[in-house]
Structure 1
């Protein structure tokens, strides 16, 4: 059993549909008013059916008051890290410290290349992400002296000025599934953000994947608990009888999410489906009960 002791977060994984933009914004506002913790948006800049995620994040931040916002996850190959660092810090300042940075190494390389992005191998993409995270953190670090210089092969920098400093310490959450990405997550990230549907054996995959992150964190001299474990759930439904993971009555949701927290260390639950009724029930019926159950079990 692995419980890393983090507070629990509940949120939405929203499809940024361009043809239903008002519904997308309404979901963010619903989450904010209902008391959820997070609203996250998919990021596929090469997909014309979707709104640009960064524009959407900015607009949603202006329409909400308390909920935290993130891309889930932002496509690094089409978002240069130096520009991304300044944009993230700016949005964090403007939103009052409500932005977190979900970041991915890239996928759908044909589409990325068609948009003018650099095509990378899987190994190169991991190395580029590691470089990018270092650059982003250097640019946010306004207490350090001197300009940011970086000689890596993917994002060389010849003396960029630091800043602006974010309003709070922005977390970097990495979407990762394979060994080198999991190792990167343990070594340098603040959180691991996979989608349950993409895990090879579902929940049964979690002990092995967590162990890879923990081992990498330890090798890097970090406490494994420094890496929050988050999870996207794409196919969810409130239904009268149990049909599977997050497909059943609220009581089943409570038991399943509490088990994920206490047994596997998952402490941020981000649900898809784009249904405002699900968002409201998650906030009103599930989140308080899961928090209470986990609190009691933790003692």
Structure 2
């Protein structure tokens, strides 16, 4: 078996829908994930959906209701969140939560909804340009070691003389949602993580190999290492007594399939779509430890 293992420790989390009714449901699911022992809870960010909570506010409330678990948007809707302000928001929440916030970031989608909320309507190319400019601004705001003011002149964002700070409490990861070649190359150049969704891959996990190669080639060209970019995967499935397809079966089947993805494609973060307490608890108690064991065993065999 041809493998691409970037050697990262494994992380497991949930992908929660930020529904506003019942009003505390999304927060309660974050608490469930923490109590179950998961590493991460993430929330969709669609500010144009009226039945959803505002994700940035939801994350702040969920951070206050939890103690250990890390939190992130999956992924932040950049066109409706100005990057300099977003940088301060994330840094503030990271400080207040004791270093538990990460930044999932997307170029934007659902442009009718974005435009309806007063945001820009961008072409795919423009959205990727804007995302790369935004990442430079966000990192610049966080860089308090530089005593100068921040100026970034771009096609989509123009920051002149912004004061830097606050710095986050820890080195916040910028994880980009990406599928197409151009944004994958951008991910390799400037991002800390890649966070696609399995449901968007028409041919399943086998597509990850070619996508990883685009990231790796761009990283090397930019003077970085492929291991500088952590690989995540949003997943969904169903627990059942009998197997009937990928992630459709018992927890042991899930564990074997996720371990194979981890070892073959270097995925080290698995985030299950779950608004259901039993699914979250089963994933944490029966799937995550088994995947860790299988991956540890295989890594030991390869390096033994």
TM-score normalised by the chain length of structure 1: 0.98
Q: How does 1:87-166 map to 2 (within 5 A)?
A: 87-166=89-168
The unaligned stretches of length 5 or more in structure 2 are none
CA distance in 1: counterparts of 2:5 and 2:274, whole angstroms: 28
Structure 1: how far apart are the matches of 2:80 and 2:203?
A: 31
Aligned equivalent of 2:268: 267
Equivalent position SS for 1:21: coil
CA contact (8 A) 2:274 2:280 kept: no
In the alignment, the residues of structure 2 paired with residue 158 and residue 274 of structure 1 have an alpha-carbon distance, to the nearest angstrom, of: 42
Secondary structure at the counterpart of residue 292 of structure 2: helix
**Which residue is equivalent to 1:28?**
30
Inter-partner Cα distance in structure 1 for 2:26 and 2:277: 10
Q: Please report how far the alpha carbon of residue 202 of structure 1 lies from its aligned counterpart in structure 2 after TM superposition.
A: 1.3
Q: After superposition, give the CA deviation of every residue in 1:23-50 in whole Å (9 maximum; x if it has no partner).
A: 2111100111111000000000000011
Instruction: Tell me what 1:251 maps to.
Output: 252
- 280-289 or 3-12, larger mean C-alpha shift: 280-289
Deviation at 1:145, TM superposition (A): 2.2
Corresponding residue of 1:230: 232
Partner of 2:208 in structure 1? 206
CA distance in 2, matches of 1:202, 1:13: 19
Q: TM-score, normalised by structure 2?
A: 0.97
Query: Structure 1, residues 185-237: CA drift from partner, whole Å, max 9, x if none?
Result: 01100000010010131111111111111111111111011100000013x11
Aligned residue for 2:233, secondary structure, equals: strand
1:273 CA drift (Å): 3.1
Instruction: Could you tell me which runs of 5 or more consecutive residues in structure 1 were left unpaired when the two chains were aligned.
Output: none
Distance 1:250 1:153 in 2: 48
Shift of 1:21: 2.6
RMSD: 0.8
Partner of 1:286: 287
Separation in 2 of the partners of 1:49 and 1:178?
30
Partner of 1:73: 75
Aligned-pair CA distance for 1:20: 2.2
Q: In structure 2, what is the equivalent of residue 178 of structure 1?
A: 180
Q: Aligned residue for 1:221?
A: 223
